[in-house]
């Protein structure tokens, strides 16, 4: 599959990069690190240039994010409240008013995550869904998503162009970065799950 992706970028250039990054944002079969750093390397051997690649990749990122945002809007408050009202979620300590509290929190603080989340593996895609659920103002969502994606894409494409034939070194470095971030997120999840258990589940037993 990786060989096909390389061939696709070689044949269709900027359009291929935009399409692949849009797909990667929704369902990441190939990490953006591979697509972007390889694209950067191609600036040495093709007519592609760094600026054009950054623009194409950012357009793809925004398209992918908008699709996930739209999916998030389908999960409106009433549907989520009905879901949390199910006996299974009640046993896990969830309450119907948790939906309103979470959306209110996201609108106060979580909007920043739309920007900073673009630099975190997995989160960079998924953050668009809660933004859609919370009905984050579209103009704000677009600005923060575009800026965050622009930075991420510019760094990886520029590094790929700089490293040239050694572009795979960039992939290795960012894979290690992803593992570290994933480990930290797992630790945070376990800690929050423990706190949730003490405050919600243990009390109801």
* Residue 89 in this model has a pLDDT that exceeds 60: no
d(CA 8, CA 17): 9
Q: What is the predicted pLDDT for the residue at 172? A: 78
Q: Please name which of 28, 56, 31, 29 lies closest in space to residue 42, comparing C-alpha atoms.
A: 56
Q: Please name which of 35, 26, 51 lies closest in space to residue 160, comparing C-alpha atoms.
A: 35
Average model confidence (pLDDT) for the chain? 77
Most confident of the ranges 78-87, 144-153, 190-199: 144-153
Output the CA torsion 117→119→120→123 (10° steps).
40
Q: What is the mean pLDDT of residues 147-171?
A: 86
d(CA 117, CA 23): 18
* Residue 198 in this model has a pLDDT that exceeds 60: no
* Residue 123 in this model has a pLDDT that exceeds 80: no
* Residue 93 in this model has a pLDDT that exceeds 60: no
* Residue 202 in this model has a pLDDT that exceeds 70: no
Provide, rounded to the nearest whole percent, the portion of the chain with pLDDT above 70: 67
d(CA 5, CA 126): 23
**158 CB-near residues (< 8 Å, 6+ apart):** 40, 50
Residue-wise pLDDT for 178-197, tens only, equals 677 667 767 766 766 666 55
**73 CB-near residues (< 8 Å, 6+ apart):** 132, 133, 135
* Confidence label for 63 from pLDDT (cuts 50, 70 and 90): very high
d(CA 56, CA 12): 12
**99 CB-near residues (< 8 Å, 6+ apart):** 77, 80, 81, 84
Q: pTM of whole model > 0.85?
A: no
Q: Show the CA angle centred on residue 93, arms to residues 86 and 195, nearest 5°.
A: 150
* 125 and 28 Cβ atoms separated by less than 8 Å: yes
* Residue 83 in this model has a pLDDT that exceeds 60: no
User: Domain containing 90: what range?
Assistant: 2-204
99 φ, ψ (degrees, to nearest 5): -65, -50
Residue 91 in tokens: 């046993």
Residue-wise pLDDT for 162-180, tens only, equals 887 777 777 777 677 667 7
Residue 167 in tokens: 């572009």
Q: What is the mean pLDDT of residues 13-27?
A: 88
* Residue 58 in this model has a pLDDT that exceeds 90: yes
Q: What total number of domains does the chain contain?
A: 1
């Amino acid at each position: 599959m990786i060989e096909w992706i390389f061939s696709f970028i070689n044949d269709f250039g900027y359009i291929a990069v935009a399409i692949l990054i849009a797909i990667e944002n929704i369902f990441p079969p190939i990490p953006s690190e591979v697509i972007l750093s390889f694209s950067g390397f191609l600036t040495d051997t093709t007519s592609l240039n760094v600026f054009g690649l950054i623009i194409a990749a950012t357009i793809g990122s925004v398209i992918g994010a908008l699709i996930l945002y739209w999916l998030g809007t389908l999960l409106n408050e009433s549907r989520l409240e009905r879901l949390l009202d199910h006996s299974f979620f009640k046993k896990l300590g969830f309450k119907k008013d948790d939906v309103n509290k979470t959306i209110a929190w996201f609108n106060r603080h979580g909007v920043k995550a739309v920007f900073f989340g673009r630099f975190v593996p997995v989160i960079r895609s998924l953050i668009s869904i809660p933004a859609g659920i919370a009905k984050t103002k579209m103009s704000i969502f677009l600005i923060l998503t575009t800026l965050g994606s622009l930075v991420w894409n510019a760094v990886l494409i520029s590094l790929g162009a700089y490293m040239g034939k050694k572009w795979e070194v960039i992939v290795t470095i960012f894979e290690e970065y992803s593992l570290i971030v994933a480990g930290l997120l797992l630790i945070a999840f376990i800690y929050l799950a423990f706190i949730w258990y003490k405050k919600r589940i243990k009390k109801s037993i």
